[in-house]
Amino acid sequence: MLGGFPSMWRYSLFLGWLSAAPFRPPFLKRNKMIRASVWSILLSVCVLILLLWKRHPSIQHQTSTSDNVRNTNSDVPVLFESSDTATVNFTQSIPVLVIACKRTSVKRTLDALLKYRTNLISPKSASFPITVSQGCPHQPTANVLASYGSKISLIKFEMPPMRPQNITKMKMGYQMIAHHYKKALDYMFLEVNHSVVIVVEDDLDIAPDFFEYFVATLPLLYSDPSLFCVSAWNDNGRPQLIDPKRIDLIYRSDFFSGLGWMLIRKIWLEVRENWPDIFWDDYLRQPEVRKDRACLRPEVGRTKTFGRFGVSKGQYFAKYLESMHLNQNSFGFTKQDLSYLLEPSYTGSWLHTVYKEAFEISPSKLYTKQFPAENKLKPLRITYESDEEFVGIASRLTLMTDSRSGVMRNAFRGVVPIYWGDRRIYIAPPTNWKGYDWSQSWTKRKFNFPT
């Protein structure tokens, strides 16, 4: 504890030993003046130590550190709970990594990040340094990025040629993206040594409380090992499928969404080891990678994509993504108690709500909105017996119908929640559900090019 004053303490103890009876040396016994001087020096040293101790209270908490150059926990927040609220005490930073290539419209994303990163309800001291990683040599985009000067940090990676003769341009694009993510995240976690990173694509709009959402959920990500990530995206976040008034609501999901997401260093060190050559997002959805961990996601999305064209050639954009609802009203997540999202209580509460509190209704009555009249606030449950039956229900209700590694978008324990016809509805498997069909491997993702 007193690592700052080892010599002073040894000197004080030595003087005390010299003057202590009956072990005083003979020359001290014969000379009272010398003994008095020794006591005077000893008293002065003790007073000096006490004054320094009081003036520098931080010394009281000194501990030995490892040989690491950087403290990897420097941007870790602490969650303080009181009887009725939970407040985040966050005084460091959450770095933001923007993945860019050849979209000059990245300016739209950067302008929003710069605008809203100071829009925190609490705490005001949090900061969000922005690093942009450009993964391809596109000069118009490079010029846009350079115009921000010191407002952002800029890194560039030269991607090696990866296109054999039998590989299409589209597949090569997905390969480059996977390689870019690996290099950029390695830079953030291994070279710069951050503890946490928010990943943002170059075609995202963000909500005013985007940063508030991540600051509030980060302590949960650190404290609960059953969490994998936090996402600002709702895969079924179109207006007819959400309750726009519930901007406070956050769910657990077994589906990794991406599109504005946060991960911590521990998770990156784990998943980077077997990073794929292609389809990095589907790799993270594999059961052996996710390991039954969940991501957090909002009822009302805090991100929305405006990227109609890209490597995916606008897949899903017109049908699903263009009409996604983006929250416009800030909510004070950091002032709320979010402990309801933690295990082991969340799953039990979730299953109780779905199977005990919700009123079961047939598909035909649901589609025609023949809802029970006795309790209009009571949630409803519609049951699917197979993946094929789920696809039929999802298609009828205009949800995204696909799944990855057997997991439906937004599903938690097989249940997909929506808000439809002014009612909370759970699309759920039967109570004897055995789990997801993992045989739907991520490697079976279908595109029109050679594998």
What is the distance, to the nearest Å, from the Cα of residue 290 to the centroid of all Cα atoms in its chain? 14
Distances (CA, A) of 43 to 16, 29, 141: 10, 20, 69
Active-site residue, selected from the candidate residues 203, 235, 254, 281? 281
Locus of tokens 């009876």? 21
> 282-289: which pairs have CB atoms within 8 A and are 24 or more residues apart?
282/404, 282/405, 282/442, 282/445, 283/178, 283/442, 284/228, 284/256, 285/255, 285/256, 285/404, 285/405, 285/407, 285/442, 286/405, 286/441, 286/442, 287/405, 287/436, 287/438
DSSP string, 387-441: HHHHHHHHHHTT----EETTEETT-BTTBEEEEETTEEEEEE--TT-----TTS-
How many C-beta atoms lie closer than 10 Å to residue 206's C-beta?
Answer: 23
Which stretches of 323-397 are assigned E, i.e. beta strand?
A: 359-360, 380-383
The answer to whether residue 281 is catalytic is yes
- 359 near 378, Cβ under 8 Å? yes
Give the span between the Cα atoms of 326 and 328, in whole angstroms.
6
Q: Please identify every residue annotated as catalytic.
A: 281
